[in-house]
Amino acid sequence: MAGSSPSRSSVVLLTQLRWIAVFGQLATIVVVSTVLKVRLPLAPLLLAPLLLMVINLTVARVVFQRKAFSQRELFSALMIDVIALCWQLYYSGGATNPFTFLFLLQIVIGAIILEPRWSWMVAFNACLCMVVLTFRYVPLKLPESYAANHFHLYIYGSLFCFVLAAVLLIVFVARLDRSRRDNDAQLAAYHQQATEEDHIIRMGLLASGAAHELGTPLSSISVILGDWSREPAIASDPDMAADLADVRRELERCKTIVSGILMSAGEVRGIDPAVTTVRGFVEDLADEWSARIPGELRVIDRLPQDVEIIADPGLRQIVGNVIDNAIEVSPELVLFEVWMEGEDAARRMIFTVSDRGPGFAPEVQRRIGQPYISTKGREGGGLGLFLVVNVIRKLGGTVSVENRESGGASVQLAIPLATLALEETEQR
């Protein structure tokens, strides 16, 4: 029941308790009539379990279609049990039947799952049933062996009823408490996600301001570098010309990094998109990063077929961010794998980047994707993978990390193909 609403969990638990009541009533009828030789009005007593079975089957179908239930519906479900118990007790001795204590179980359940006004109504109706059963009921026709001293039979029945109520309470309260803990954990996860997204918004605002501030000096530097490149003294000196070309490349990289941060902090798609294929996207990334790594960036292509996708600099930025992190700890070799999994609309594109570095510490691995969690020990670090996790999450995908048995770490990005597929994008 993890992930379901509290009201739906309560309906499921009430249904389970009702099944227990059905089988308990049938077993009690069989024992009392065959073992104790008590003559019971079987027709009305068997009618209640039969109706409860029909109600349970109907509720089971409704539960699959509904995610939540109102307080009125929970109250009605509990009142069905109260009325069924009252019916059974009316034909089996009324208030002289020790199973009248089961009304207290239903009152406790009402107090747990219902709001105060509805739980008070359950208690009032249960008390009203007890008043009726005290003065109006069908007496039990006890055999001669119990008729002379029926108080002993009442004591045994009270003992059994007490044990049954105690067990049911423990089971019900324990299940409710587990459901509450699951819902609290889910709520905490939503709160954490909202906090992280709020952090991204703040970072986006800061990045936007930084981009505006950096735009003018970067443009000025670009103009100045263009003027210098036309100077005869620089153009005629191969070393200075090569240095100038390196500076211009690094300047363009600064512009790309700032744009990537903006896209990662805001909307991922729609900024300079390009139609490509998964294999073409991987090859472009490999070409770009192979020039930066002193060792080898080994691409492992396990695609069964190529698929057209819409890719933009934001997607390249987040995948490149993972590759960059791997290069820092494993400059001699980085593995870049790509494959597909799933079928039809559930297909996902999987990117895995593996290195031969020291791997993730257990504490870092547990908190991966949270801001400022880093293995590099730099103050303010840990934002790269934080952005990757949240951007992939916005695309409907997931990020998982693990330490490899052969050494090093592996980061896997799983993105629904429908998010990037050309056909899906055109339809939207």
List, run by run, the mean pLDDT of 10-residue segments along the chain (428 residues). 66 86 86 81 89 90 84 91 92 87 88 90 94 90 70 78 82 76 77 69 60 67 80 81 83 69 48 74 87 87 85 76 86 91 82 89 72 52 68 83 87 86 51
**Token pair listed for 319:** 């995948």
pLDDT of residue 127: 94
**Token pair listed for 424:** 């899906």
3-state secondary structure of 82: helix
pLDDT of residue 426: 47
Q: What's the one-letter identity of residue 107? A: I
pLDDT of residue 335: 92
Q: What's the one-letter identity of residue 91? A: Y
Nearest-angstrom CA–CA distance, 321 and 314: 10
pLDDT of residue 2: 43
H or E element: which one contains 371? none
pLDDT of residue 204: 59
3-state secondary structure of 359: coil
At residue 142, φ and ψ (nearest 5 deg) are: -80, 150
